[in-house]
Amino acid sequence: MAAGVVSWNNLPSVILYEIFSYLTSKEKILASSTCHNWRFALNHSSFWKNVHFKMKSSDEDSECRIQYLSSCSSKKLHNATITFDSINILCIEQVAKVLENIVDNCNLKSLYLKPSNCTIDCPGESEKNKKQYFDRKFYLNLQTLVQQCYQLEHISFGCLEDFAAYTKPLLESLIKYQHSSIQTIGLATVKYDPDEYVLVDFDLGLLQNFEMLKIFSLDFDYVNDNLLSTLTQVKTLERLVIHVHGISDGHPGTTEDAWVKLTKNNPRCELRLSLIHSYDGVDLLHSLILRRSMPLTHIRVFFCEQLNCEALNMLSSYTNTLRSIWWVDSFNSAASNYLLGASDIHYPINPFVMCCWRCPGLEELVILGYRYYTEEVYAKTRLRQSLKRLDLAASDMVSFDNKRADQKTLEELEKEASRLLKQPWKTLSDNDLHSVILNPSAGDSDEFILPVVLQDLQ
């Protein structure tokens, strides 16, 4: 080799690692095709700290890609996210293999499961065989992971109802092995049948042993003053996420005093509340669930098929905290015309307009499946010009003559709203909406709900 000429394929590994550290993931892959040494550099542990495994039933190359990615990274990664089709057996088997590969990774810091649905359809000819598969491939592997990690910081069980039966042993293991490091625990679920499910008893007092807990999610079935008293002693809590499904007759609810104490000891704590197919919950929202001392920042009501006007009017009282409101149903639900007649009942002003007026921090407003006067959209955008997200369906827009808004009316509305919000804004066409919004029988609501509620843990 001539003097002064650099042989790029013989660069010292420390130089290669430095070069690769400046490249994006795609650029690293392109660079690694240069030669053997550069391919070897791609496998350095520092480049595999964050890995997102994506299993899709429609992707024929998914299995080979996941196997390769898992073999390269499972012992090196620090943060793992697994997105998968939870009702496809091939995807379930791939997830099981990934969990088997990472179970011995003592350096894992976070694990987030992101399923497509609220249950896992495991391989097996009978329900007993399917349960045995889940126990062996999912539950026991996660138990081992919790017990062997040096400092696990974040874990989400993906709102999977299958894990609900194991809440007690999983929580006990987290307390025993990860009490000084764990910051995020996602125990809240989405139920397959919100009116029929089994509750598991566990000692809520154990939660006070977590020294660093910042984000915690749980179903409303377990939320009472005892839970809030325990979380009051944590003193590091920044986000409490609650999912509401069915509500038992003897549920005690919570008191104002318990919320006052919680927020006093956890001044940064925010509450995110989601009602999911909760027909009981939306009925009792104003009386049993909402408390004025709650640090409520996000409220989402998914497919409950009705509006609770008293609860909606309570929302505008969360003037210092409320940032996000979602109220979503399929088109033509029983209460789809409720807002058109709201002013004729107890309240003269649309409650969503009131929230825009009284809640200066409101950034997100999503109302789907409820017909809405275009004039009230003008009011919302004028009152809260800082909205970052405003989702309204074009099919829901109605003029004051109670006729569906025509194209010209929508264009004028969109132009004015864009000017006020200082960003391009349009109503959502039917093509923009999930199929379950258009027709409850045409899609799976889990596919709409899960991406939203799982984001609460990150």
Are 267 and 346 in a shared domain?
A: yes
> Three-class SS of residue 52?
strand
Nearest to 187 by CA among 275, 113, 295, 116: 113
**pLDDT tens digit sequence for 379-393:** 999 999 999 999 999
Are 298 and 436 in a shared domain?
A: yes
Dump strand ranges (E) for 237-360.
Answer: 239-244, 270-276, 296-302, 324-328
Are 31 and 91 in a shared domain?
A: no
Are 210 and 269 in a shared domain?
A: yes
Round to whole Å and give the CA distance between 408 and 265.
53
- Are 47 and 78 contacting, i.e. CB atoms less than 8 angstroms apart? no
47, 65, 84 - which closes a domain:
47
Print the domain residue range for 402.
50-457
- R_g of the chain, CA atoms, integer Å: 25
Name every residue whose Cβ is closer than 8 Å to that of residue 279 and which is 6 or more positions away in sequence.
194, 195, 304, 305, 306
Round to whole Å and give the CA distance between 328 and 336.
10
Are 63 and 41 in a shared domain?
A: no
- Are 291 and 254 contacting, i.e. CB atoms less than 8 angstroms apart? yes
> Three-class SS of residue 43?
coil
Round to whole Å and give the CA distance between 299 and 220.
14
Round to whole Å and give the CA distance between 249 and 326.
26
DSSP state letter for 390: E
pLDDT of residue 452: 97
Are 4 and 130 in a shared domain?
A: no
Are 82 and 106 in a shared domain?
A: yes
| CA-to-CA dists, residue 20 to 23, 27, 31, 43, angstroms | 5, 8, 8, 11
> Three-class SS of residue 317?
coil
**Segment-wise mean pLDDT, segments of 10 residues, the chain, 458 residues:** 56 64 65 61 63 76 72 79 91 91 90 94 88 93 93 96 93 94 96 89 90 96 95 95 94 96 96 96 95 97 92 93 96 82 62 92 95 90 93 90 86 93 94 93 91 95
- Are 361 and 321 contacting, i.e. CB atoms less than 8 angstroms apart? yes
Are 153 and 225 in a shared domain?
A: yes
Are 339 and 433 in a shared domain?
A: yes
Question: How many domains, the chain?
Answer: 2
CA angle in degrees (0–180, nearest 5) for 87-166-176: 130
CA dihedral in degrees (233, 79, 59, 130; nearest 10)?
A: -50
pTM: 0.89
Are 436 and 381 in a shared domain?
A: yes
Are 266 and 314 in a shared domain?
A: yes
pLDDT of residue 283: 93
CATH number at residue 332: 3.80.10.10
CATH number at residue 18: 1.20.1280
Are 123 and 9 in a shared domain?
A: no
